[in-house]
Structure 1
């Protein structure tokens, strides 16, 4: 659905201005973010939160396991009312653990919200740098090679990732990305 809407909008833009040659480029935000200390710090923080919440959930299940074993050991000695009470407590604890797990790791849970919060700063930095490069290079479109939008072929001549990294003050070192040695140090090897 997202891709279809993108193509419709792209077609509309191209049909409205047929006489104007449009200039485009792309960046690899995954590559750029991987070089940013702010992004690495955010990932570390996210991992800390995920680890803490995972331990909390694991502790809940350890407690449930202890209660279950205790119940099984004493079951013969308990009255029917006592058995029902213990089973009810076990069921409540299991439900609480599942609910907490869903609250933390479920759809738009605490971890999702924390990721969104911590990734905002590096993503905003990249977006501002992309916008600045687009204005400097007079680009009409900049695509993200790392997005869901599938790029079947990319000419390195249109890759503006190094310009964005330069704008962010990140060091541009020659590295073989994606197993493509021709994609090294794009800013110096490819005229744009």
Structure 2
């Protein structure tokens, strides 16, 4: 009985020692990310790319509208074959526009991923370095919506400093 009590006290003592050694922190990586010059450059590139795609889509839409207006104005003077051909061309153009919209969305997502991934990895590397350098056991990211220990130390300023941001 005495051995069980001593063992139990030792386990409880080790548990408190482990909890006492755990150092928690939190960071807002989104706040850091938007202050990075690389992020601003990526945003500019993404916006430029989006405008190019939008211009192409607008051009296709204008072509569609012109063909539709032409069909409507000449419809009374067209033969059935000419009308069917014109309608078929309009339908094909409409399908091209829809395909382009889907493709453009996919290309935008890919572009954004290619631009942001290296920047996000840089922030993660800085967070890891801050954690290792300052002896943190865990650092929670507030921007992800994860449960955060409320009394943790905010290491956002340390990560900003590590990245040379103010």
Q: Give the gaps of 5 or more residues in structure 1.
A: 1-16, 173-192
Give, in whole Å, the separation in 1 of the partners of 2:94 and 2:145: 37
> Is 1:49 matched up with 2:49?
yes
Q: Deviations over 1:98-136 (max 9, x none)?
A: 11101111xxx0000000001122111101100100101
1:147 offset after TM fit, Å? 1.3
Q: Give the aligned partner of residue 97 of structure 1.
A: 97
- Between the two proteins, the alignment pairs up a number of residues equal to 150
Q: Please, what TM-score do these two structures have when normalized by structure 2? A: 0.84
1:29 offset after TM fit, Å? 1.2
Tell me: higher relative CO, structure 1 or 2? Use CA pairs within 8 A at least 6 residues apart: 2
Q: Give the aligned partner of residue 149 of structure 1.
A: 146
Superposed, which structure 2 residues align to 1:45-124 within 5 Å?
Answer: 45-105=45-105, 109-124=106-121
Q: Give the gaps of 5 or more residues in structure 2.
A: 1-13
Q: Give the aligned partner of residue 4 of structure 2.
A: none
Q: Give the aligned partner of residue 175 of structure 1.
A: none
Cα 1:88–1:18, aligned 2, differ >3 Å: closer, same or farther? farther
Give the structure with the higher percent helix: 2
Q: Give the aligned partner of residue 129 of structure 2.
A: 132
Give, in whole Å, the separation in 1 of the partners of 2:46 and 2:27: 25
Q: Which range moves more in the overlay, 45-54 or 141-150? A: 141-150
Q: Which range moves more in the overlay, 52-61 or 109-118? A: 52-61
Structural RMSD (CA): 1.8
Give, in whole Å, the separation in 1 of the partners of 2:87 and 2:113: 39
1:150 offset after TM fit, Å? 5.8
1:57 offset after TM fit, Å? 0.8
Pick the structure with greater CA Rg: 2
Q: 2:156 aligns with which of 151, 156, 161?
A: 161
Cα 1:154–1:58, aligned 2, differ >3 Å: closer, same or farther? farther
Give, in whole Å, the separation in 2 of the partners of 1:117 and 1:77: 53
